C-alpha cells in the first residue's frame, strides 16, 4: 500500500504519518455537531478544538467493518485490534489444546493500548513459535513452562503481560533466575567435598533470605547479584583449598584463609559471609575474617550536592522521572533500589503540604521539589504496557507490565549525567544527621539506627548529644 493510500487528503493540507496517527487517536464530543467518537480534524488554523470527520468535510469512511468503531483502518476495512483478533484466533485459539486458556491470552494481547505493536511483535518467528507452542501444549502455561522456553525478551514480555492480567501468579523474576543459576552452578561442581558446603551455604543462607525478603512486583537485583558474587568466590576458595591443601570447609585452618587472601585480588574477601556461616552452623568455629574497612568514604561537597539539586529541579538535561529520582537521592539519601520500588501511595498530597513515606512517618517535601514530584506523579511514563490498563502502583513504572523500573536502568541514567551515586547518598545522609537527631533520621528515611549512628560519627554529631 502506498503512502498516498495510507495518508488521506485533509482540507487544505496533507498530514504526515505521525500526525495522521495522532489524529486517528483523538476522540471526544465534536463541539459543532455533538458527535461522540473520532475527532481527527481541527476547526481551522486558529481554533485548536478537534472536530469530527463530517464537520471537517472528510468524506472517507474510517469505521471498522467488524467492531463498527471509528479509527485508523489497518487492513481490509478492519481496525488493528480486530485484525489482531482475527490473526490470533487463527494462530492460537482455533484447534488449541485448551481453547479457553488461549482465548484468555488472545484477550490480553488484544487488550493492549497499541494493538499495532502486538501485530508487529507476533511477526517474529520466535514469538510465533512461543505462541503456537502454548497453543499446542508443548509449552506449559506456567512459569516453569516459560522458563523452559528460554530467557529471551519475547518470553519476558509475554510473562509480564500474563502476570499482570492474572493468567500467571506474580513472581520475583530475579529470584527465579537466581534459582536457575544456582542449580546450574552446583551441577558444575564435581567434588562432593566442595559441593556440599557450597550448596548448604547457598541454600540456607542466601536462598532462604532472598525468598523471605522477596515482595511481589519488586526486583531483587542487588541482593541476587551480591549472592552470586559470594557463592562464586566461595566455590573458588573451597576448590583451591581441596586441590592445594587437601582440606575441606570443616578442616580448613586460619592460615589457609590468610594465604588465600594474601595471594589474590580483593574480591576474595567475599568469602567472609561463608566464613561467618561456618561458625554459626558449627561446621568450623576456628575461623574468622573481619569485615573489610573502606579506605575512605565517598562524598560530595555540600556545594556540589546543592548544585546537582538545583540542576535537577530547574534544568532540562534529563527526563522528568530521572530528575525526580536523582533529587530523591540527593535530598533524602534514598538508595536507587528503594527509589524505583516506591509505590504511588507513598506520595501524600494535601491542600497545604506534600509529603512522602520513606520510613515510619511521612516526610515533608519542600518546594519546588513538591511541584516537580506531583508533575511526575500525574504524568508517569510506561502506563500503557499492561494490556490497555493505564494504572500502575509504582511511582516509576517499568517497561514490563506491572513492574517498576529496573534499578540498573536508573543507575546508568544518573551516572551518565555525572552524579556520583554513593557520594551523593553519603553526603545527603551526613548532612541530614548533622541537622536532625540520627534516630529521627533513621525512622523517617527507613535506615537502621546503626547506619545513621555511623554517619553521625563521621559528621561529628555523636548520638550522645541526642536526649531520649
pLDDT in tens, the chain (468 residues): 333 333 334 554 566 777 887 888 888 999 999 999 899 888 777 778 888 988 888 888 889 999 998 888 888 899 999 999 999 999 999 999 999 999 999 999 998 878 888 999 999 999 999 999 999 999 999 999 999 998 888 898 899 889 888 899 988 888 888 999 999 999 999 999 999 999 999 999 999 998 888 776 556 677 888 899 999 999 999 999 999 999 999 999 999 999 999 999 989 999 999 999 999 999 999 998 887 665 556 778 888 888 899 989 887 766 889 999 999 999 998 988 889 889 999 999 988 899 999 988 898 999 999 999 999 998 888 776 544 445 678 899 887 777 888 888 888 888 888 888 888 888 888 888 888 888 888 888 888 878 887 777 776 644 444 443
Residue 63 pairs with which residues in a beta bridge? 70
* 339 three-class SS: helix
Residue 78 pairs with which residues in a beta bridge? 75
Is the Cβ–Cβ distance between 195 and 186 less than 8 Å? yes
Tell which residue, 398, 369, 365, 367, has the closest CA to residue 383.
398
* 402 three-class SS: coil
Residue with cell 555511623: 454
Angstrom distance (rounded) from CA 257 to CA 268: 10
Angstrom distance (rounded) from CA 370 to CA 62: 44
Residue 65 pairs with which residues in a beta bridge? none
Residue 404 DSSP symbol: B
Task: Determine the length of the chain.
Answer: 468
How much is the pLDDT for 9?
43
Is the Cβ–Cβ distance between 102 and 92 less than 8 Å? yes
Beta strands in 339-467 (DSSP E): 347-349, 354-356, 363-364
List Cβ neighbours of 239 (8 Å cut-off, separation of 6 or more): 191, 194
Angstrom distance (rounded) from CA 147 to CA 153: 12
Is the Cβ–Cβ distance between 230 and 274 less than 8 Å? yes
Angstrom distance (rounded) from CA 387 to CA 115: 9
Angstrom distance (rounded) from CA 182 to CA 44: 65
Q: Helices 302-314 and 421-435: crossing angle, nearest 10°?
A: 110
How much is the pLDDT for 129?
94
CA dihedral defined by 435, 441, 447, 452, rounded to 10 degrees? 40
Is the Cβ–Cβ distance between 72 and 21 less than 8 Å? yes
Is the Cβ–Cβ distance between 112 and 130 less than 8 Å? no
Is the Cβ–Cβ distance between 313 and 323 less than 8 Å? yes
DSSP line for 297-338: -----HHHHHHHHHHHHH--SS-HHHHHHHHHHHHH---HHH
User: What value, to the nearest 5°, has the Cα angle with vertex 237 and ends 234 and 239?
Assistant: 105
Amino acid at each position: 500500500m502506498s503512502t498516498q493510500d495510507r495518508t488521506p487528503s485533509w482540507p487544505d493540507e496533507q498530514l504526515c504519518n505521525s500526525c495522521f496517527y495522532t489524529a486517528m487517536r483523538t476522540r471526544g464530543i465534536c463541539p459543532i455537531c455533538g458527535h461522540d467518537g473520532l475527532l481527527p480534524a481541527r476547526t481551522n488554523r486558529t481554533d485548536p478544538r478537534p472536530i469530527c470527520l463530517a464537520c471537517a468535510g472528510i468524506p472517507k469512511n474510517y469505521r471498522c467493518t467488524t467492531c463498527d468503531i471509528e479509527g485508523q483502518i489497518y487492513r481490509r476495512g478492519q481496525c488493528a485490534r480486530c485484525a489482531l483478533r482475527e490473526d490470533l484466533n487463527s494462530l492460537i485459539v482455533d484447534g488449541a489444546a485448551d481453547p479457553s486458556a488461549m482465548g484468555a491470552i488472545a484477550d490480553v494481547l488484544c487488550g493492549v493500548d497499541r494493538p499495532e505493536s502486538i501485530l508487529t511483535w507476533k511477526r517474529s518467528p520466535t514469538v510465533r513459535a512461543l505462541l503456537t507452542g502454548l497453543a499446542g501444549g508443548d509449552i506449559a502455561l506456567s512459569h516453569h513452562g516459560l522458563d523452559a522456553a528460554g530467557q529471551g525478551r519475547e518470553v519476558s514480555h509475554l510473562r509480564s503481560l500474563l502476570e499482570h492480567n492474572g493468567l500467571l501468579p506474580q513472581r520475583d523474576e530475579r529470584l527465579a533466575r537466581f534459582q536457575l543459576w544456582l542449580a546450574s552452578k552446583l551441577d558444575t561442581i564435581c567434588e562432593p567435598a566442595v559441593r556440599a558446603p557450597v550448596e548448604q551455604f547457598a541454600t540456607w543462607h542466601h536462598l532462604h533470605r532472598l525468598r523471605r525478603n522477596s515482595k511481589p512486583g519488586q526486583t531483587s537485583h542487588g541482593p541476587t547479584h551480591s549472592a552470586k558474587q559470594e557463592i562464586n568466590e566461595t566455590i573458588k576458595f573451597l576448590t583451591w583449598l581441596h586441590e592445594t591443601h587437601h582440606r575441606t570447609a570443616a578442616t580448613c585452618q586460619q592460615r589457609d584463609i590468610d594465604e588465600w587472601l594474601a595471594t589474590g585480588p580483593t574480591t576474595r574477601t567475599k568469602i567472609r559471609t561463608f566464613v561467618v556461616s561456618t561458625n554459626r552452623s558449627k561446621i568450623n568455629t576456628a575461623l574468622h575474617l573481619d569485615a573489610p574497612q573502606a579506605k575512605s568514604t565517598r562524598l560530595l561537597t555540600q556545594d556540589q550536592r546543592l548544585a546537582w539539586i538545583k540542576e535537577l529541579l530547574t534544568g532540562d538535561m534529563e527526563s522528568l522521572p530521572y530528575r525526580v529520582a536523582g533529587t530523591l537521592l540527593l535530598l533524602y539519601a534514598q538508595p536507587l533500589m528503594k527509589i524505583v520500588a516506591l509505590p504511588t501511595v507513598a506520595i501524600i498530597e494535601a491542600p497545604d503540604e506534600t509529603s512522602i513515606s520513606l520510613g515510619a512517618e511521612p516526610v515533608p517535601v519542600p518546594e519546588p521539589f513538591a511541584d516537580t514530584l506531583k508533575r511526575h506523579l500525574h504524568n508517569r511514563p510506561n502506563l500503557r504496557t499492561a494490556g490497555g490498563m493505564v494504572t500502575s502502583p509504582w511511582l516509576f513504572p517499568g517497561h514490563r507490565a506491572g513492574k517498576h523500573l529496573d534499578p540498573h536502568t536508573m543507575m546508568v541514567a544518573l551516572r551518565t549525567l555525572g552524579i556520583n551515586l554513593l557520594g551523593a547518598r553519603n553526603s545527603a545522609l551526613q548532612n541530614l544527621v548533622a541537622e536532625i537527631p540520627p534516630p529521627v533520621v533513621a525512622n523517617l528515611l527507613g535506615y537502621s539506627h546503626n547506619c545513621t549512628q555511623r554517619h553521625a560519627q563521621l559528621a561529628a554529631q555523636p548520638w550522645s548529644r541526642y536526649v531520649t
